[in-house]
């Protein structure tokens, strides 16, 4: 059953069924599912029973080839960030993205991927909603601007205004706490700008410690 409409998403009775169907059959709800060279949907990794979700932007080429999110350079960096305060990201969190298919950049653009468009985010949002419904998380960590905007229901934020801050009463989250962080890709891309690179690293170090303290205090 290739998914072509949101109605079919509501028919899933479990997270396992949703993930299996997307991995095996794919999705055609937006233009991303029709791209040449796409390996398929990249849904999630980690532990849904943890009640802690990490939500990023979209798969890259490494993620697409393995059908697993956050396994490329940025993902490995994310693992290190979380392990720096004692987290095992695979057992302590459930990881997914707001977009489940890799947005492949046009040849000659100089890029491998592009930032998902608003329409694509909207078309993929029912998958994110379904995962949140099945998991009923106690905390959601949004990684980067697109993920944070999607959870907040807006398209115009500055990450500097939200990163490292605990947000509550966000519609559609089942009462979960929401904690935005910078995307590790932003740090990696800033390496040619030493001042920004150092700033992003310091901010992320501060934020991961704040997150650790919140999880400890709230017994999440």
Domain 6-217 has CATH 3.40.470.10: yes
Mean pLDDT of 50-74: 96
User: What are the tens digits of pLDDT across the range 121-162?
Assistant: 999 999 999 999 999 999 999 999 999 999 999 988 999 999
In whole numbers, what is the pLDDT of the chain averaged over residues? 94
> Tokens 């704040």 identify what position?
210
Percent pLDDT > 70 in the chain is 100
pLDDT at 1 over 70: no
Query: 174: helix, coil or strand?
Result: coil
Helix, strand, or coil (residue 177): strand
- Range in 104-113, 170-179, 201-210 the model is least confident about: 104-113
Give pLDDT, residue 168. Answer: 97
DSSP letter at 78? H
Interval 189-215: pLDDT, tens: 999 999 999 999 999 999 999 999 999
What proportions of the chain, in percent to the nearest 5, are helix, strand and coil?
50, 10, 40
Q: What are the structure tokens assigned to 9, written together? A: 């998403």
Per-domain boundaries in the chain: 6-217
Find the helix packing angle between 73-83 and 194-217, rounded to 10°: 50
The pLDDT of residue 5 is above 80: no
């Amino acid at each position: 059953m290739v998914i072509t409409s949101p109605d079919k998403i509501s028919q899933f009775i479990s997270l396992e069924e949703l993930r299996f169907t997307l991995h095996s059959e794919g999705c055609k709800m937006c233009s991303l599912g029709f791209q040449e060279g796409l390996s398929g949907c990249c849904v999630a990794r980690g532990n849904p029973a943890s009640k802690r979700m990490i939500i990023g932007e979209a798969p890259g080429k490494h993620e697409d080839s393995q059908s697993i999110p956050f396994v490329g350079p940025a993902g490995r960096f994310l693992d290190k960030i979380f392990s720096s305060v004692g987290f095992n990201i695979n057992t302590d969190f459930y990881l997914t993205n707001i977009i489940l298919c890799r947005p492949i950049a046009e040849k000659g653009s100089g890029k491998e991927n592009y930032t998902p468009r608003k329409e694509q985010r909207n078309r993929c949002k029912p998958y994110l909603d379904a995962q949140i419904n099945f998991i009923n998380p106690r905390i959601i960590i949004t990684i980067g601007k697109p993920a944070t905007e999607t959870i907040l229901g807006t398209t115009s934020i500055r990450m500097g205004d939200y990163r490292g801050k605990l947000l509550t009463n966000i519609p559609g989250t089942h009462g979960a706490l929401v904690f935005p962080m910078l995307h590790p890709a932003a740090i990696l891309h800033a390496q040619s700008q030493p001042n920004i690179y150092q700033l992003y690293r310091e901010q992320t170090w501060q934020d991961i410690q704040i997150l650790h303290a919140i999880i400890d205090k709230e017994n999440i």
